[in-house]
Amino acid sequence: MYQFNSKYELKSLLRNGWIQLMTLLLLGLFLFAFYNGNEKVDKRKNDIQAAFNEVKESDQNMLILLDSVQRGMEVSASRWTIPTKPMAVGNYHPRVAAMNPGPLAFVATGQSDLFSHYIKPKASGDDMALNFTEISNPVQQLFGSFDLAFVIIYLLPLIIIAFTYNVLSSEKESGTLRLLASQPISMRSWVFQKMGIRLFWVVLMIGVVLILVSVIIPSGVNIVELLPVFGVTLGYIFFWFALAFAVNLWVGSSSKNAIALIGLWLVFVLLIPSVLNQMGNALYPMPSRTLMINEMRSAKAEATKKQDQILDNFLRDHPEYAINDPNQNRSFYHRYMASQQLVREELQPVVGRFEQQLQNQQQWISQLKWISPAIIVQQELNALAGSSTKDYENYRKQVTAFAESWRQHLLPFLYSNEPFSTDDYENLPEFQYQRLTSDTTLISIIALVFIALIGVILGFLKGVGSQSTEKFITQ
């Protein structure tokens, strides 16, 4: 019977054009999503490369200047920018701290449209002044990106729903169910088989489309690296098929099924995430950034007062005069860097509060994400792509640490009044971004399959007992 069933299904799916339509639809959607994701990653790479090139160029100039000064020649640059001064190196020749995209970055835009992917921390800037957000048209952020994650999380379930909502009801509505009921097979296993065949086709097509698309659009990613993405997608597909299976058995007519499934889609994909987000915000509210500015201002004002002299105040704003004044030559940056250190320390708890709350919210989501497979998939794809909240937090921390080591590398020159020379150039610290790896992929896939199994069991529970087939027909 199974053989007949699958043969018949395949034939009818091919004849009414479902398989062809679906392949084309999937191919089109995946192609567009791949293309968009790739474009974003390419832009990111190019931007970072351009920044490195710029630094390289300015380093060449710096080395030439250094060389001239060391050989006692007259140079035309403004005096306070001459790189024998360590602070001039620290402020006018910062390094690029770049967050290079990982191999799967094109999969999910995630938070990457909000943040910068390279920053040049200066020695005298405070960490508060490091702005990690990117300038962009907020409309793009509001609408979101048409990336692979969008196709998988939002559209794939809808395609599955369109493919499966009337598996049982259409037979009933066209009157063929009575014929089927005469066959020696239980209604549940029959629907299960039909679903299984469709599931097989969807999975096969997605596999083929993924391979095809990664051949058409060369993103430098090999198929093996795509496997985790494929695994998560598979788990998500299982879940929606299981849901459709249960709804087909429990609900009734085609339109009722469709409405029930769309309702569930709405609940899992739109409502649960936004309600959880809202609750997370209510439980762990972010402190106000505007009020933080007030605190920051008073901390800085305090620090400024401690630098008693008005000349100091003035010189802080005007390093060029600090250099002109022989008496202040050493004490200006000495005092300034010291007071900066103080402000940083004082503001640490204020800034830390934000990071802490963000972590709390993230924690809250990781505990409750199991309620909706859509959240599991979103979090997992973002983590694989390296564009999750955690990744950017990790990057921020690394950059702040790098800013500190940049300062600490140059401060000894400042305090010992030693000029920076061409030999020291080699030893300047470089930033290397350490990527996070996602270790939850397998757990996520298992969880998705487990949730899917619950759906299948729910479906099988329908009509357990005698005369179950009759119920389906007369329902």
Residues 229-268 that bind another protein (CB under 8 A): 254-256, 258-259, 262-263, 266
Residue 13 half-sphere exposure toward CB, CA atoms < 13 A: 24
Closest CB to another protein among residues 206, 261 = 261
User: By C-alpha distance, which of 401, 367, 389, 375 is closest to 436?
Assistant: 389
Q: Is 120 in the site for another protein (CB under 8 A)?
A: yes
48-107 binders of another protein (CB under 8 A): 50-51, 54, 78-79
Amino acid at 117: H
Q: Is 317 in the site for another protein (CB under 8 A)?
A: yes
Closest CB to another protein among residues 176, 278 = 278
Q: What mask, x for binding another protein by CB under 8 A, covers residues 384 to 423?
A: ----xx----------------------------------
Query: Across the strands, what pairs with 348?
Result: none
Closest CB to another protein among residues 132, 250 = 132
Helix (H) or strand (E) holding 373: helix 373-385
Closest CB to another protein among residues 43, 435 = 43
In Å, how far are 125, 127, 256 from 131, measured between CA atoms?
11, 9, 51
Q: Is 121 in the site for another protein (CB under 8 A)?
A: no
User: By C-alpha distance, which of 280, 297, 301 is closest to 289?
Assistant: 297
Q: How far is the CB of 93 from another protein (least distance, A)?
A: 13
Pick the stretch among 197-205, 208-216, 312-320, 445-453 that binds another protein (CB under 8 A).
312-320
Q: How far is the CB of 182 from another protein (least distance, A)?
A: 25
Q: Is 446 in the site for another protein (CB under 8 A)?
A: no
Q: Is 320 in the site for another protein (CB under 8 A)?
A: yes
Q: Is 375 in the site for another protein (CB under 8 A)?
A: yes
Q: Is 444 in the site for another protein (CB under 8 A)?
A: no
Residue 133, helix vs strand vs coil? strand
123-142 binders of another protein (CB under 8 A): 131-142
Q: How far is the CB of 325 from another protein (least distance, A)?
A: 11
| C-alpha span between 254 and 424 (Å, rounded) | 75
Phi, psi (degrees; rounded to nearest 5) at 112: -70, -20
Pick the stretch among 66-74, 208-216, 275-283, 439-447 that binds another protein (CB under 8 A).
275-283
Name which position in 30, 34, 118, 433 contacts another protein (CB under 8 A).
118
Pick the stretch among 188-196, 214-222, 240-248, 273-281 that binds another protein (CB under 8 A).
273-281
User: By C-alpha distance, which of 53, 111, 91, 114 is closest to 403?
Assistant: 91
Residue 406, helix vs strand vs coil? helix
Q: Is 276 in the site for another protein (CB under 8 A)?
A: yes
Name which position in 18, 45, 47, 189 contacts another protein (CB under 8 A).
47
C-beta separation of 449 from 235 below 8 A? yes
The DSSP annotation for 45-87 comes to HHHHHHHHHHHHHHHHHHHHHHHHHHTT----S-GGG-TTSHH
334-363 binders of another protein (CB under 8 A): 354, 358, 361-362
User: By C-alpha distance, which of 119, 95, 96 is closest to 425?
Assistant: 95
- Residue 86 C-alpha from the chain's centroid: 37
In Å, how far are 34, 43, 105, 109 from 40, measured between CA atoms?
10, 5, 9, 8
Q: How far is the CB of 437 from another protein (least distance, A)?
A: 17
Pick the stretch among 61-69, 185-193, 272-280, 436-444 that binds another protein (CB under 8 A).
272-280
Name which position in 7, 11, 56, 318 contacts another protein (CB under 8 A).
318
Query: Across the strands, what pairs with 118?
Result: 98
